[in-house]
């Protein structure tokens, strides 16, 4: 299979939306608009690498939005979209150039696997392919608010992204078009004389440009999802050591928790809760304790794996609640740090994470100080659309 890179363009300012946050970093049901798009490409079997192009002022926002995703890296874009794409292409050309490239707007959160497949399939026979939708409304040409002409819409389409191209062809076309004001990569290819074909687009492939678009995207996501609740439970015994790791935070203690990984009962319970909501096995089936490669592993990667499974099914986390059960150490002083760390691993707002602690009044193994237990629930919204 030819190597394919998804070049996700996210360097715009989103000046047509209210507020100071660029549209690609607006919150869309717990995750940034851009993250929805990145996760869609990360979950697709034919995408080998993902390479975002971002604005120089957005490094911190991008780091948060892309937390836990395996990306090629990123490049700082230019003053126009055209310049941003060319910068991305040049960086790819200077390294390991792919055979095919998909150019996608970071403000389009709902690119589907089927749409990606259609674009890539068209590249087997043509240098370029773009998703397109019919123009169903009557189109008018207007001069200073006065209708001057009714335009024949029969040969008109609305074009979306991702737009796919053979890499060398697109790079040459971009270099030749430098300094020209062209609206998309298909136009740049057309100017170079390359044949660009259309494939069926999708109405759900919404581009967030105005505030109403963000509301429409949220409503579309909600309409396709059903709510599920999963539960998780984990136990680890104490062993020699000087700290315990709970919900990603190291807490000083006169013992440590024993286990093949870092034995973080909090993260293990949340991981199982998310997998349970998906009906996707448990942590042991994804990370078998018999495999030495998980020795000492950071449990954050287990939780991020569960979130990637959720993202692959176009779902999202509504809320998670974890209860730590132990006599010691005291969890209360670390609760806020634990919530913040879990939210960081999940790439969600901290308001979607609850961490609590309780004792068993000195009853049972936790009451006797033999170990720590944790139980968790995860409320997820799961895409059940066609």
DSSP per-residue letters across 6-72: EEEEE----TTSSSSS-GGGSEETTEEHHHHHHHHHHT-TT--EEEEEE-GGGHHHHHHHTTT----
Contact 128, 165 (CB under 8 A): yes
Q: What are phi and psi of 41, to 5 degrees?
A: -75, -40
Contact 44, 116 (CB under 8 A): yes
Rg (CA), the chain: 24
Could you give the CA distance from residue 379 to residue 322 in angstroms, rounded to a whole number? Answer: 12
Per-residue model confidence as pLDDT tens digits over 221-276 = 888 889 999 999 999 999 999 999 999 999 999 999 999 899 999 999 999 999 99
Could you give the CA distance from residue 222 to residue 274 in angstroms, rounded to a whole number? Answer: 18
Instruction: State residue 385's pLDDT score.
Output: 64
Tokens of 281: 């096995």
In the block, which residue shows the tokens 């998804």?
6
Q: What are phi and psi of 383, to 5 degrees?
A: -70, 120
Could you give the CA distance from residue 202 to residue 115 in angstroms, rounded to a whole number? Answer: 8
Could you give the CA distance from residue 272 to residue 323 in angstroms, rounded to a whole number? Answer: 14
- Beta partners for residue 356, in sequence order: 323
- Beta partners for residue 270, in sequence order: none
End-to-end CA distance of the chain: 27
Could you give the CA distance from residue 385 to residue 270 in angstroms, rounded to a whole number? Answer: 26
Torsion sign across C-alpha atoms 54, 60, 61, 66: positive
Cis before 206? omega within 30: no
Could you give the CA distance from residue 17 to residue 14 in angstroms, rounded to a whole number? Answer: 6
In the block, which residue shows the tokens 């990667």?
301
H-state helical runs in 167-255: 167-177, 185-191, 211-224
Per-residue model confidence as pLDDT tens digits over 8-42 = 999 998 777 888 899 999 998 878 999 999 999 99
Instruction: State residue 221's pLDDT score.
Output: 86
Contact 4, 167 (CB under 8 A): no
HSE value, Cβ hemisphere, 13 Å, CA-based, for 364: 12
Which three-class secondary structure state does DSSP give residue 291? coil
Cα 118 versus chain centre, distance: 21
For the chain, list residues with pLDDT below 50: 386
In the structure, how many helices (H) and strands (E) does the chain have? 12, 19
Domains of the chain: 4-209 (3.90.550.10), 226-383 (3.30.1330.50)
Which three-class secondary structure state does DSSP give residue 261? coil
Cis before 269? omega within 30: no
Burial class (CB in 10 A: 0-12, 13-18, 19+), 40: buried
Contact 140, 147 (CB under 8 A): yes
Closest Cα to residue 195, out of 161, 167, 169?
A: 169
Please tell me what DSSP assigns to residue 152: P
């Amino acid at each position: 299979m030819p190597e394919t890179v998804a070049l996700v363009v996210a360097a715009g300012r989103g000046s047509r939306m209210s507020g100071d946050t660029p549209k690609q970093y607006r919150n869309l049901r717990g995750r940034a608009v851009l993250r929805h798009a990145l996760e869609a490409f990360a979950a697709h079997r034919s995408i080998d690498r993902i390479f975002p192009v971002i604005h120089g002022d957005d490094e911190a926002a991008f780091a948060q939005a892309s937390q836990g995703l395996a990306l090629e890296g990123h490049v700082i874009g230019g003053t126009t979209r055209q310049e941003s794409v060319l910068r991305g292409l040049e960086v790819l050309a200077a390294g390991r150039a792919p055979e095919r490239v998909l150019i996608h707007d970071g403000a389009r959160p709902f690119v589907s696997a089927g749409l990606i497949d259609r674009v890539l399939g068209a590249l087997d026979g043509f240098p370029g392919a773009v998703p397109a939708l019919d123009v169903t409304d009557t189109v008018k040409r207007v001069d200073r608010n006065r209708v001057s002409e009714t335009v024949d819409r029969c040969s008109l389409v609305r074009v979306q992204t991702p737009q796919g191209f053979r890499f060398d062809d697109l790079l040459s076309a971009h270099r030749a078009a430098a300094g020209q004001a062209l609206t998309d990569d298909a136009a740049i290819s057309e100017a170079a004389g390359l044949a660009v074909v259309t494939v069926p687009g999708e109405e759900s492939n919404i581009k967030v440009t105005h505030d109403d678009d963000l509301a429409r995207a949220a409503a579309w996501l909600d309409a396709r999802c059903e709510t599920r609740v999963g539960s998780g439970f984990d136990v680890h015994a104490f062993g020699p050591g000087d700290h315990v790791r709970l919900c990603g935070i190291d807490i000083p203690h006169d013992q440590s928790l024993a286990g093949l990984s870092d034995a973080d009962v909090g993260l293990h319970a949340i991981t199982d809760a998310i997998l349970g909501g998906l009906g996707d096995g448990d942590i042991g089936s994804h990370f078998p304790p018999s495999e030495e490669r998980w020795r000492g592993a950071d449990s954050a990667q287990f939780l991020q794996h569960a979130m990637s499974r959720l993202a692959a099914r176009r779902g999202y986390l509504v809320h998670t609640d974890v209860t730590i059960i132990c006599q010691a150490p005291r969890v209360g002083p670390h609760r806020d740090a634990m919530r913040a760390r879990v939210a960081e691993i999940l790439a969600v707002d901290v308001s979607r994470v609850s961490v609590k602690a309780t004792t068993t009044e000195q009853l049972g193994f936790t009451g006797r100080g033999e170990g720590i237990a944790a139980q968790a629930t995860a409320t997820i919204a799961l895409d059940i659309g066609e």
